[in-house]
Amino acid sequence: MDMNRMVQTDLRDFLAECEAAGELKTVGGAHWNKEMGAVCEVLYREKVDKSPALMFDNIPGYPKGFRTIYGMLGSPFRLALSLGMETGETHNRMEMLNAYRTKMRSHAPIPPRVVNSGPVTENIDRDGDVDVLKFPVPIHHELDGGRYIGTACGVVIRDPDTGRVNVGTYRVMVIDGKRCASYISNGKQGRIYRDKYFAAGKPCPVAIIVGIDPATYMAARYTLSDKVAEYDWAGGLCGRPVDVVEGELTGLPFPARSEIVLEGEISPTEKALEGPFGEWTGYYAGDAQEEPVIHVKRVYYRNDPILTCAASQKPPHSHLFERCFIRSAALIDSLEGAGVPDVKGVWVHQAGSGRTFVSIAIKQRYFGHANQVGIVASQVNPVGYCGRYIVVVDDDIDPTDIHDVIWAMGTRSDPQKDFNVLTHCWSSRLDTMVFDQNLYNSRVVINACIPYEHIKDFPKVAMTSPELAAEVRGKFPDVFA
């Protein structure tokens, strides 16, 4: 699979390619109050990752051209496009993942390039002129506690100790035209950096990219170590520096070709009720709680700006495919970094909301290999946060095929011997099974591999051989047309 296509750092160039391929549909007249999110959910529930990205325009109460986009990377084609893959070869998830992994073996971070201006500085609202509700900020789900401007976004915070700039996807709710509130889960890099400012009694400078380009969004969604900054990673993916503008107030960098950016500071003392919000679990998990207030003092935006949106719902939904792909790649990185041998495939399943059900295929090499892989996977990024079920299978099982995985569980595992329960693991208030302030969960590693001592004498699989399958396909082409 070719990985030499241009990676777009401009959302509009990316969407133009999507539209040319029939992967973008414009919807006129949907209301910001629940309708856009509902249209998106109903479509993706019917067509899943075969759905187009949805561009909403002519939104009641807003000028034509002030738009929202859902499902930016929600199909194999659009994800491949964002990664620089050939888009005609996206039918096989493991082939996509392996092609991406091959490219990333030669990935070298490239620092961003600071420029004086860009399309995002076409309009700048300052201080008293700031009104984030000039954009068609949606209520994404029927029971959301407010309008969420930050969903498919990048929250930019600098570590006051090291100077490292983090770009992470954290939800941002609008309080009023000049104030927002954001929930960041415990243990996330942005939360750690923010709380350093608070511990010193200082406000935390912040920039929030709420109209984000595909390359930066990929970086913000990826789980990176403190050694690699997100803009550097995005530059390495693109093969060239990401052009960034530094904010007037904070000096924080944001991509020059962003659609909309909010700049301000997070108060160490002032809080407001945030939530609930339909989250990645498929529930309104975590309820509403007091979160620090963000005072927005600058808004940068392009002419006819596009607000990028991601509404999580009960699976499947419009940004689940890209989430599962990115996390699957990150998990392989983590396993290889931990020195675990012979991992042949990984998939973080959509039905597990992109976190709670993971399958890992290995070539067994020694007694205890399967259990080792599962235990390591249960604690490293991205599964370490809110994981639940980790299933380890042999390399004749396709880890992306839920039928294959469950078949292996039902025929190669013994619940009494092959289920290893771990307790006091890293969780969050978004976890539906956390009922107090002790943010722990438990998880189980399921060894669904053939018992190592019976690899040579285990019953043979009843399945047509690849050779015979190819023969009958050639002999009876009408059947397989």
Q: Which residues pair with 421 in a beta bridge?
A: 444
Question: DSSP letters along 62-82, please?
Answer: S-TT-EEEE-TT-SHHHHHHH
What 3-state DSSP class applies to 397? coil
Question: DSSP letters along 77-102, please?
Answer: HHHHHHHT--TT--S-HHHHHHHHHH
Residues with Cβ within 8 Å of residue 325, at least 6 apart in sequence: 79, 93, 96, 97, 100
d(C-alpha 151, C-alpha 135), whole Å: 14
d(C-alpha 109, C-alpha 270), whole Å: 37
CB 29 within 8 A of CB 134: no
d(C-alpha 138, C-alpha 147), whole Å: 5
CB 50 within 8 A of CB 292: no
d(C-alpha 69, C-alpha 53), whole Å: 7
CB 255 within 8 A of CB 47: no
Q: Count the Cβ atoms, other than its own, within 10 Å of residue 478.
A: 5
Q: Is 279 a catalytic residue?
A: yes
Report CA Rg, the chain. Answer: 23
Catalytic residue among 263, 279, 291, 322: 279
E strand or H helix at 464, and its extent?
A: none
276 prior amide bond cis, ω within 30: yes
Q: Which two tokens stand for residue 472?
A: 């009958």
Q: Which residues of 422-456 are buried (b: 16+ CB within 10 A; e: fewer)?
A: beebbbbbbbbebeeeebebebbbbbbbbbeeeee
E strand or H helix at 260, and its extent?
A: strand 260-274
Q: Which two tokens stand for residue 202?
A: 């200082």
Reported in sequence order, the residue ranges of 326-417 that DSSP labels E, i.e. its strands, are 343-348, 357-362, 389-394
What 3-state DSSP class applies to 284? coil
DSSP state of 122: G
Residue 51 is which amino acid?
Answer: S
> Active-site positions?
279
